[in-house]
Amino acid sequence: MKADFTYDVVVIGAGHAGCEAAHAAARMGARTCLLTMDMGKIAQMSCNPAIGGIAKGQIAREVDALGGLMGIVTDAAAIQFKMLNRSKGPAMWSPRAQCDRMRYSAEMRRRLENTENLHLWQDEAAILKKLDDNFFALETVWGITFRARCVIITAGTFLNGLMHIGRRTVPGGRSADAMSKYLTFSLQTLGLKSARMKTGTPVRIDKRSVRFDELAADVGEEDAHRFSFIGEGRALPSLPCWTCNTTPEVHEVLRRGLPESPLYNGQIQATGPRYCPSIETKIVTFPDRDTHPLFLEPEGVDTNEMYLNGFSSSLPFDVQLEALRKIPAFRDVSLYRPGYAIEYDYFDPTQLRHTLEVKTIDGLFLAGQVNGTTGYEEAAGQGIVAGINAALKCAGSAPFTLQRDEAYIGVLIDDLVTKGVDEPYRMFTSRAEYRILLRQDNADVRLTPYAELHGTATAERISRFHTKARFYREIMEFSHRTTLKPQSVNPYLARIGSVPLSHGTKITDLVSRPEVKLDDLLVASGVFRDLLPAEAGLRAEVLEAAEVEMKYSGYILRERELAEKMKRLEAIRIRGHFDYSALSQLSTEARQKLSAIDPETLAQASRIPGVSPSDISVLLVLMGR
Ligand SMILES: Cc1cc2nc3c(=O)[nH]c(=O)nc-3n(C[C@H](O)[C@H](O)[C@H](O)COP(=O)(O)OP(=O)(O)OC[C@H]3O[C@@H](n4cnc5c(N)ncnc54)[C@H](O)[C@@H]3O)c2cc1C
């Protein structure tokens, strides 16, 4: 009997982008296949086993709010949780979890294997062709041909991957993984432009060889916070991370090794992530600094392997080891794996629409590191958008895009398709103009309605979302109309050093004081306890959301007004309206850039580097005509 390899959607690559893409498409009812080179390495964390961090944590929460798996799997695999930037305003709060690398991968695989409409297949995709009947034919190295309406490519760092340690190079998609040999050529044949980027990773250390008394412990938080808006919460015990610093002796060894560094001897030409530099780049870029911080992080509960964050290197292995052994905690260190760098192909993301579909190839989507980004969260955010759009396309429905004021994922994709990339793109809060709107606490309010609409959310997520919304509404209404008397709150205010009340004051006004915590105020004054959910995680979420709204309502309102103004430009659709090359009123640069990007809206046109406000005025006038 012949097996049937016809699908609505085929996703190539089960990394962080591919898993979310395949899961979303399948949940929406598309018959989906996730085709990947090694099923033992699904959602493998190629570098640091951690999810989240500044701005990345917001993206992970957004993926979760959209019905994705990253948050749920992170909660199942987390071995340390922290809310970063707590000392700053809530726009900057960013969750981060250290994860058990193997548990993360196993949990993701378990969930994907149990997703309806989703089939997994281990193989290497080689040749992609568009057939006349609007189907793609995708041939694998084992000679199997898939037919699919939509194909999503999420091949990460694997396309013609070349790894470097010193002068030695080994082809591979990442350590111990074969590279993907044929796909770039096949996509180039379809007309896509590719280029090269590079990234790197540090050594992995055997815990038993570390002198922990020379390190400072860095412990996580034990509160009710978690990554997912649903789910069972964190399952694994919390483990400490550890910190120390490099020394001038370490730098001396590294400096001596520089002539053998592929980054400095001309062997690697591609650009790497500026904000994740190797240790050798740090000592070259900051010659006056004689110390850099290092973080020793556990890789899981069942392993002695530890990750040395901050020590990414592609120097020869003996240089890496000699340098490390100059650090007191690593005097007798024994390593499991060396650090290395990798060069790989990516595709210029300005070739894509906001849906992540290739402008010139109907039904072909690209997501993740292949679009010039770096990071698991950036990959997952693109993956879920590509997956939703592929499923919508198969169903003949309107596409799904996110605006810059709706999600960091919207900012990410708009930046990619509008500005392109010349170095690996990672997300920062500074890339978003509406940071106070795009908080980690309100990702569900912003995005779960889309998950409900498109069918990516489970019944549990929808029910929990509406329950939370009801409690939130009730608390907000109650806080706006309830006045607390001085005698009920003054003891609490005195305890926290806040000015006592001389007359009754509304709860919302009290909470707007920076030092007043809504939860503590409730306990102290004994009011509206019944309005809170019993479940600890949900209760914490409701209180956090309400408190942020009360404390920052002025800022939130101002950003919302700015976003609304910008929406007017976003509403002016210009794709297909102009032959830019014929508009002599525009600057030459604007003509070239507008022709290349072919922006969807006037607002997108205004964000293209090289397109000035006067070029936008010209387009506005022409639109008026
Ligand atoms: C050495 C190294 C260091 C890194 N350092 C950092 C860092 O410091 N900071 C950071 O943020 N990120 C870092 N990253 C990047 C991070 O791992 C990626 O951003 C993230 O994994 C991208 O996710 P993805 O889903 O796009 O691709 P990946 O996670 O790379 O997954 C790609 C998947 O596609 C599969 N695949 C590829 N080609 C084919 C094919 N032809 N057929 C079938 N399957 C295929 C692979 O088997 C794999 O499962 C590093 C990566 C590497 C390799």
Q: Which atom of ligand 1 is nearest to the CA of 200?
A: 3
Give the chain's length: 625
Nearest CA to ligand 1 atom 17: 46
- For residue 209, name the pLDDT band (cuts at 50, 70, 90): very high
Nearest to 417 by CA among 353, 340, 486, 495: 353
Q: Is it the case that residue 340 has pLDDT exceeding 80? A: yes
From the options 1.10.3480.10, 3.40.50.620, 1.10.150.570, 3.90.1530.10, give the CATH code of 580-624.
1.10.150.570
Instruction: Assess contact for 305 and 205: CB atoms under 8 A.
Output: yes
CA–CA separation, 192 vs 306, rounded Å? Answer: 39
Tell me if 204 CB under 6 Å of ligand 1: no
Q: Where are the alpha helices (DSSP H) in 12-154?
A: 16-27, 56-65, 70-77, 101-113
Judge contact between 486 and 502, C-beta under 8 A.
Answer: yes
> Is the CB–ligand 1 distance for residue 37 below 6 Å?
yes
DSSP code for 61 = H
What is the pLDDT averaged over residues 306-311? 98
Burial 490-521 (b: 16+ CB within 10 A, else e): bebbeeeebeebeeeeebbebbebeebbbeeb
Mean pLDDT of the region 583-594? 92
Does residue 1 have a pLDDT over 70?
A: no
User: Structural domain boundaries of the chain?
Assistant: 459-570, 580-624
φ and ψ at residue 292, rounded to 5 degrees: -130, 145
In tens, the pLDDT along 474-496 reads 999 999 999 999 999 999 999 99
276 CB near ligand 1 (under 6 Å): yes
Q: Count other C-beta atoms under 10 Å from residue 299's C-beta.
A: 24
Q: Is the CB of 202 under 6 A from ligand 1?
A: no
Q: Is the CB of 379 under 6 A from ligand 1?
A: yes
For the Cβ of 140 lying below 6 angstroms from any atom of ligand 1, the answer is no
pLDDT of residue 3: 79
- 522-544 in b/e form (b: 16+ CB < 10 A) is bebbebeeebbbeeebbbbbbbb
Nearest atom in ligand 1 to 56's CA: 11
**Does 232 have pLDDT greater than 80?**
no
* The pLDDT of residue 528 is above 90: no
Mean pLDDT of 275-288: 95
Q: Which of 328-342, 444-458, 516-530 has the lowest mean pLDDT?
A: 516-530
Residues 354-391 have pLDDT tens digits of: 999 999 999 999 999 999 999 999 999 999 999 999 99
Mean of all residue pLDDT scores within the chain: 95
Cα 17 to middle of ligand 1, angstroms: 9
What is the atom index within ligand 1 of the atom nearest the CA of 19? 25
Mean pLDDT for 431-439 is 94
* pLDDT score at 90: 82
What is the CB neighbour count within 10 angstroms for residue 329?
A: 22
State pTM to two decimals. Answer: 0.96
Best residue among 369, 371, 373 to mutate for probing ligand 1's pocket (most ligand atoms within 8 Å of CB) is: 369
Q: What angle do CA 98, 100, 106 make, to 5 degrees?
A: 135
pLDDT of 222 reads 82
Question: 382-397 burial, b for 16+ CB within 10 Å, e for fewer?
Answer: bbbbbbbbbbbbbeee
- Could you give the residue ranges of the DSSP H alpha helices within 345-396? 376-394
154 lines ligand 1 (CB under 6 A): yes
Q: What is the mean pLDDT of residues 26-36?
A: 98
- Distance in Å, CA 211 to ligand 1 centroid: 32
Tell me if the domain spanning 459-570 has CATH number 1.10.3720.10. no
Nearest to 196 by CA among 140, 267, 126: 267
pLDDT of 98 reads 97
pLDDT at position 239 is: 96
Q: Give the pLDDT band of residue 535 (cuts 50, 70, 90).
A: confident
**Cα 565 to Cα 365, 558, 616, distances in angstroms:** 31, 11, 16
| pLDDT, tens only, 89-145 | 888 899 999 999 999 999 999 999 999 999 999 999 999 999 988 899 999 999 999
pLDDT tens-digit series, residues 536-565: 788 888 999 999 999 999 999 999 999 998
Q: In which band, very low, low, confident or very high, does the pLDDT at 625 lie, cut at 50, 70 and 90?
A: low
Q: What percent of the chain is predicted at pLDDT more than 90?
A: 87
CA atoms within 13 A on the CB side of 183: 29
pLDDT bucket at 420, cuts 50 / 70 / 90: very high
Gap from CA of 560 to ligand 1 centroid (Å)? 36
Task: Give residue 2's pLDDT.
Answer: 72
Residue whose CA lies nearest to ligand 1 atom number 41: 125
Are 206 and 260 in contact by the 8 Å Cβ rule? The answer is no
Note the pLDDT of residue 613: 84
Could you tell me if the CB of 38 is within 6 A of ligand 1? yes
What's the gap in Å between 15 CA and the centre of ligand 1? 6
pLDDT confidence bin for 574, thresholds 50/70/90: very high
φ and ψ at residue 444, rounded to 5 degrees: -70, -40
CA-341 nearest atom, ligand 1: 1
